[in-house]
Amino acid sequence: MNPESPQIVQEVPTPELIELIAPLGKALRHTGKVLFEPFDMGKWFVIGFCAWLATLGKGGSSLGYKFNTNGFRSGSRELHQFLQSLPWVVPLMVGASILGLILYLLFLWLSSRGKFMFLYCAANNCAFIKYPWGQFRRQGNSLFLFRLVVGILGMISMGLTVLLGFGLYAALRTGFQTEGAVILAVLGAMMIGLPLAMVILTVVDVTEDFVIPIMVRQGRLCIPAWKVCWQLIRAHFNKFVLYWLFKLLLNVVIGSMVFAFVLGTCCVGAIILLIPYLNAVLLLPVTCLKRSFSAFYLRQFGDAFDVFPPDPAAAPTPAATDWPTIANPGS
């Protein structure tokens, strides 16, 4: 694997058979080899750190002043009175917003690098931090910029949806009662907001499951890798639809198992799952399985999409995972 020299895929592959159960079985066996053959707590903590880094910033909390929600006008008036009584609130909110933006960008950048680190460790049955961190620097920075643009588009879509809801409410409140106008405004906004949200979430999911492995295997940056992935999806659209439906079912099963674990531990497990980093270590079998499943599914489309070394059971040294390089590094 050489991220500086991308591999050229001449045409969209046409595999004879694309399966769903077989990649899942391979992912289960591979996860067992990585985490339990043999069991190494130090290895768990290293790979868990990469998994935690890959999901950094997905959680969140809220803290604020509770305003009266009986009506928009009374809420606005109460907010205005609150800000006048505490003049330091506005500078504090501005400073907190700037700090939040800085933390968001930092977490997004770190998680973009972490996704390559976690895929490298999970695919190669190893526990490295420094090597994949430096090896996929260009790909990580490219992914960061792509995710930043997607995040901005998502926030714009959400803002437009909210504005549409308020606009519909303002137009409908003269002809309907308040409750009816609110319901109609929410439904109208959802008709636009839900499709936009589905598009954004699909882009995020495709990037996570397939574009990142293509970037790793073929040494491409994010946009060129997306072009390769899009050609693959267009040629085998029905197979990828079945994959996403199967993945949805798999997530439901995994979520039910995690919920049963929380109940079985009398909510002690829930407390552990709320602790950063430790939750990544505890859920490592789940994250490793999901990461391996998408990679094994993608591998069915040919060697150009295979991120696994010839012998994934053997823990490699960094140099052992270099694949043949192909010229034209500008892709």
Give the span between the Cα atoms of 263 and 257, in whole angstroms: 10
Peptide bond into 285 cis (omega under 30): no
Domain range list for the chain: 22-58+71-303
Tell whether the torsion through CA atoms of 256, 258, 260 and 262 is positive or negative. negative
Residues 6 or more apart whose CB falls under 8 angstroms from that of 246 comprise: 20
Residues 6 or more apart whose CB falls under 8 angstroms from that of 287 comprise: 51, 55, 118, 280
CB 90 within 8 A of CB 83: yes
Residue 199 CA, distance from chain mean position: 14
If you ran DSSP here, which 8-state letter would residue 319 be given? Answer: G
Give the pLDDT of the chain (331 residues) as one tens digit per residue.
555 555 555 466 667 788 999 999 999 999 999 999 989 999 999 999 999 999 986 643 333 334 343 444 454 566 556 556 666 667 778 888 899 899 999 999 999 999 999 999 999 999 999 999 999 999 999 999 999 999 999 999 888 888 888 777 777 777 676 677 777 777 877 888 888 889 999 999 999 999 999 999 999 999 999 999 999 999 999 999 999 999 999 999 999 998 888 888 877 778 888 888 898 999 999 999 999 999 999 999 999 999 998 764 444 555 444 443 333 333 4
Residues 6 or more apart whose CB falls under 8 angstroms from that of 181 comprise: 169, 172, 173, 175
Give the span between the Cα atoms of 53 and 66, in whole angstroms: 33
Question: Which tokens sit at 321?
Answer: 């995972």
Nearest to 222 by CA among 207, 203, 243, 244: 207
Q: φ and ψ at 317, to 5 degrees?
A: -90, 160
- Distances from the Cα of 130 to the Cαs of 114, 120, 174, in angstroms? 11, 12, 63
Q: φ and ψ at 243, to 5 degrees?
A: -60, -45
